[in-house]
A and B are shown apart, each in its own frame.
Chain A
Amino acid sequence: MVRRYAAIAGAILVTLAFLFPVLYMVSISFKLPKDIFTVPPRWLGEFTLDNYVSYFHQARILPRIVNTIIIAVGASAISMIAGSMAGYALSRMRMRGAGVVGGLILASRAVPPIALVVPLFLVARKLGLTDQYITVILAYVTFLVPYVVWLMRAFFRGLPKELEEAAMIDGCSRFGAFFRVIVPTSITGLVSTLIFCIILAWEELLFALILTNDRAVTIPVAIAGIAADTEKGGMWGPLAAVGVLTVLPVVVFALLVQKYLIKGLADGATKG
């Protein structure tokens, strides 16, 4: 009994320790410099929204959030369509060379983005496509598609074959069976994969740093800029405020669908 309570207490403490940096960030985002730079540190100071207001206009944070949403949703949508179709083909259909193609798609998950960065930049520059949504979206597809294929292949394998066989006996084509039968029954897997994609795209830094410089700048790039300014001091409040706004939607999203998210994560890792 004592053991059990000790374990529960330990679990709560560890969880709080892991949450502390996030709570600290929230606290700083609502404080004035005079309450941030103090010894001992203060949890609560004079409440202010200043960090969310004054800096935001100047750093154009809101347009950057919009950019990030457009890019994350666009890249995720394309990757979901292409990736789940490929994942389906690899999980169900047999054809010559399937093993090789599947292996290559999955191996592409291990390609470090740094190996793509120079050509993507040079080609985008040559075509006059730097600083445009479509360029960043297509760059993100390189790591999202392999991810979707990986997760959805594992998911489709878990579905009974009778599902689409029944539909195809009723006269559906393979495409019809996929879109009318498989997609609706896989909604949970598709949604959790989509959420992973959006999160991964939402926080991506390297490609965005290289492919954008003004109009299409995403929020991680903006944050990296603020973080660099922090060295000069005084920028803690604004950095924390942007951090809170960046993290908040994703946290809400993740908590809303946590059950599927955890299952998807675990399946993706172990059934790959």
Chain B
Amino acid sequence: MRRVRLGEPGTAWLFLTPALVLLAGMLLYPIFYTLWVSMSDFDLATFQPTGWVGWRNYEAVLNDPGFLESLRVTAVYLVIALPLQMVLGFAIAFLLNVPWRGRGVLRALFLIPMVVAPVVAGGVWRMLLDPLWGVVNYTLGLVGIGPVEWIGDPVLAMASVIIIDTWRWTPFVVLIASAGIMALPGDVYEAAKSDGAGRWATLRHVTLPLLVPVMAAAFVVRWLGAVKMFDIALAATKGGPGNATNVVNLYIYEKGFRSLEFGSASSMATIVLVVTMLITFVLFRVSRRLENRW
């Protein structure tokens, strides 16, 4: 792999320096700072970490039912929302792929939910889902359902957060899937046709396998966004009712900046960091393997 000709390692490092300096100062240093705070006693009088306490903060947060609950809530959100968005996204992409004059316009319009700021999305959907004045409940009422307490019921509040997140992010999957579908090689279909493969057989045995790399890539990118989810829950449900939609990012934010428990907030953040990096690493590996296999 190593090539000698375009060596000039000095120049290469010069090109890398600005990014490395920024990331070292704003990313690496804060991570170590978080580790330090997570292992010390935080003195609110001087607003500084003071005594070294080792793993004590970690023991405390691992015995904190609120933290464990927020991890569970986050897991439920991820396990439902991500597959849902993948399936919907690819299904809609197939619908949008039917050639006709308005296809480009529809694809462009699909960009719109994606660029609605998450806080705005949360706020608007709160109105749509309002039990009294919301359009959703009115419509459900027409067919005899309801009134549904969307934000007030623990299970439905989680459903609401997932609906909002899915509304905002499915278009992203649609766009990536569309690009993938358009890039499919035509001759394979000729071959499938001449072999007498039907519509479903072609989809199952030709199209979907060819799309596996795109699916893997879309999933990884969507995962990277979803683990950071914070604003939609804050704007739509504030983590409630109770802790029903209190995703871990929201829980840590409140521990740190409402209760000023910086020590435990930092240990929780460290745990989240480690878990996220590990899962991301595994996903990357799997995704790379899938891309190479097909």
Q: Which residues of A contact B (CB under 8 A)?
A: 4, 7-8, 10-12, 14-15, 18-19, 21-22, 24-25, 28, 36-41, 78, 81-83, 85-86, 88-90, 92-96, 98, 101, 105, 107-123, 125-126, 138-139, 141-142, 145-146, 149, 173-175, 178, 199, 202-203, 205-206, 209-210, 219-220, 223-224, 226-228, 230, 236, 239-240, 242-243, 246-247, 250-251, 253-255, 258, 261-263, 265-266, 268-270, 272
CB distance from A198 to the nearest CB of B (A): 10
Task: Return 26 A-B CB contacts under 8 Å, by A number.
Answer: A15-B109, A19-B109, A21-B113, A21-B116, A21-B128, A22-B124, A24-B128, A40-B138, A82-B18, A85-B19, A95-B12, A105-B23, A108-B23, A110-B277, A114-B249, A114-B252, A117-B269, A126-B47, A174-B8, A205-B234, A206-B249, A223-B235, A224-B231, A266-B178, A268-B221, A269-B218
B65, CB-defined interface residue at 8 Å: no
Whether B119 contacts A18 by the Cβ 8 Å rule is no
B191, CB-defined interface residue at 8 Å: no
Whether B179 contacts A262 by the Cβ 8 Å rule is yes
How many angstroms from the CA of A81 to the CA of B238 in the assembled complex?
37
Contacts of B26 in A (CB 8 A): 116, 120, 138-139, 141-142
Q: Which of B11, B23, B167 has the most C-beta atoms of chain A within 10 angstroms of its own C-beta?
A: B23
B122, CB-defined interface residue at 8 Å: yes
B241, CB-defined interface residue at 8 Å: no
How many angstroms from the CA of A21 to the CA of B217 in the assembled complex?
28
Whether A220 contacts B34 by the Cβ 8 Å rule is no
Binds A, one of B94-102, B154-162, B201-209: B94-102
Whether A86 contacts B234 by the Cβ 8 Å rule is no
Interface string of B269-290 (1 = CB under 8 A from A): 1101100110011000000000
Chain A residue at minimal CB-CB distance from B273: A115
Contacts of A111 in B (CB 8 A): 27, 31, 273, 276-277
Partner of B115, one of A109, A115, A122, A250: A250
Q: A117-B256, A203-B117, A254-B115 in contact; A269/B176 too (CB < 8 A)?
A: yes
Whether B276 contacts A112 by the Cβ 8 Å rule is yes
Contacts of A107 in B (CB 8 A): 277, 280-281
B9, CB-defined interface residue at 8 Å: yes
Q: Which residues of B contact A (CB under 8 A)?
A: 2-4, 6-9, 11-16, 18-20, 22-23, 25-27, 29-31, 33-34, 37, 47-48, 92, 95-96, 98, 100, 102-103, 106-128, 132-133, 135, 138, 167, 170-172, 175-176, 178-180, 213-214, 217-218, 220-221, 224, 227-228, 230-231, 234-235, 238, 248-249, 252-253, 256-257, 262, 265-266, 269-270, 272-273, 276-277, 280-281
Contacts of A202 in B (CB 8 A): 117
How many angstroms from the CA of A91 to the CA of B212 in the assembled complex?
25
Contacts of A247 in B (CB 8 A): 115-117, 120
Contacts of B167 in A (CB 8 A): 18, 21
Chain B residue at minimal CB-CB distance from A253: B115
Contacts of B266 in A (CB 8 A): 118
CB distance from B92 to the nearest CB of A (A): 6
Partner of B280, one of A110, A116, A230: A110
Whether B127 contacts A236 by the Cβ 8 Å rule is yes
Q: A94-B6, A243-B123 in contact; A18/B33 too (CB < 8 A)?
A: no
Partner of A95, one of B13, B127, B230, B265: B13
Contacts of A210 in B (CB 8 A): 253, 257
CB distance from A83 to the nearest CB of B (A): 6
Contacts of A240 in B (CB 8 A): 124, 127
Whether A118 contacts B11 by the Cβ 8 Å rule is no
Chain A residue at minimal CB-CB distance from B108: A258
Chain B residue at minimal CB-CB distance from A144: B22
Partner of B175, one of A110, A139, A262: A262
CB distance from B138 to the nearest CB of A (A): 6
Q: A11-B96, A11-B106, A247-B117 in contact; A255/B111 too (CB < 8 A)?
A: yes
Chain A residue at minimal CB-CB distance from B122: A227
CB distance from A259 to the nearest CB of B (A): 9
Whether A81 contacts B269 by the Cβ 8 Å rule is no
Q: A112-B228, A116-B31, A120-B30 in contact; A239/B123 too (CB < 8 A)?
A: yes
Chain B residue at minimal CB-CB distance from A16: B109
CB distance from A14 to the nearest CB of B (A): 6
How many angstroms from the CA of A246 to the CA of B34 in the assembled complex?
33
CB distance from A186 to the nearest CB of B (A): 14
Partner of A112, one of B135, B175, B227: B227
Whether B102 contacts A12 by the Cβ 8 Å rule is yes
Contacts of B107 in A (CB 8 A): 258, 262
How many angstroms from the CA of A236 to the CA of B132 in the assembled complex?
13
